Structure 1
Amino acid sequence: MTDRAAAVIAVTRDIAACRALRRAVFIEEQGVSEADEVDDLDGVATHLLATVAGRPVGSARLLEQGEVGKIGRVCVLADQRGTGLGAALIRAAVAEFATRPGIRKVKLGAQIHALGFYEKLGFTAYGPEYDDAGIAHRDMVLSL
């Protein structure tokens, strides 16, 4: 992270704050439809919320699927990109899954432009490119 105010990343029950961040990034900025962004998994997921000086600036959603931890809905507000916050969110998500018995690997669906970002964090791309909400993605995995 740069010399900006330090971010705090923690598990949260404030799903409304996470949804507001996702709306700003995915729906308003990236043009994802509300139907594609909103689903029924928020209630069963673990949510990470990143704040700077008390202001919500990023989030990620964690789901367990057998031996796999799935990181999804990762978003960082535009004014916080390039600070290391996104990497810190991913590291926090991996660390959270590492504490859970039975989770052997972590996976995510990465937007194509972000493949290098996730590779630097230890993820490996696999499988074909696919469309998710009008944006090209590839699946990525990290063994724990």
Structure 2
Amino acid sequence: MPKVVQINMDSPLYQKERELRNKVLLRPIGIPDFGWEMNDSKSWHFVALEQGKLIGCVLLLPLDIKNKKGQLMQMAVEHTWQGKGIGKLLVGSLLSFARKAGLEEIEIHSRAEVTSFYEQLGFQTIGEEFKEVGIKHRYMSLQL
């Protein structure tokens, strides 16, 4: 059974996380490798592991100085593991951490085609579609 652990940028798993994000999120839409890491040093990092192999990741970026609001971002799951509950496991771990850390709201800029995944986890869609990195997205939010 896969498990989720929190890592920092000094962890050897961080490089594997970066590679997964490049492979799953950036390369398919033409963004250069490592082209979306501007918030890595400010974010909490969570990775899903199966027998020591990194199979998924997600970041939580604090959005205010009091850490009351955060943004879930850069979630990626290995293609062979997609549809097997890894995303749900990652989001659940992130939300559990956020609650313990005292955050009150989590927002997402969700790719439009996956908003139903986040809705199943309690997130609400807010406003109209918008384009980010050339892809249709929706704002979503969850009050903790």
Q: Does the TM-score normalized on the shorter chain lie above 0.5?
A: yes
In the other structure, the counterpart of 1:19 is 18
In the other structure, the counterpart of 1:47 is 45
Distance 1:32 1:98 in 2: 35
In the other structure, the counterpart of 1:7 is 2
Distance 1:64 1:32 in 2: 27
Runs of 4+ in 1 over 6 A off after TM superposition: none
In the other structure, the counterpart of 2:98 is 97
Q: Provide the TM-score with structure 1 as the length reference.
A: 0.89
| Cα distance, 1:90–1:37 mapped onto 2, change above 3 Å | farther
Distance 2:61 2:95 in 1: 12
Distance 1:89 1:127 in 2: 25
Distance 2:94 2:116 in 1: 18
Structure 1 regions of 5+ residues with no counterpart? 1-5
1:128 Cα offset (Å): 1.5
One-letter amino acid of the structure 1 residue matched with residue 105 of structure 2: K
1:32 Cα offset (Å): 3.8
One-letter amino acid of the structure 1 residue matched with residue 58 of structure 2: A
Structure 2 regions of 5+ residues with no counterpart? none
What is the RMSD computed on CA atoms of the aligned residues? 1.5
Aligned residues: 137
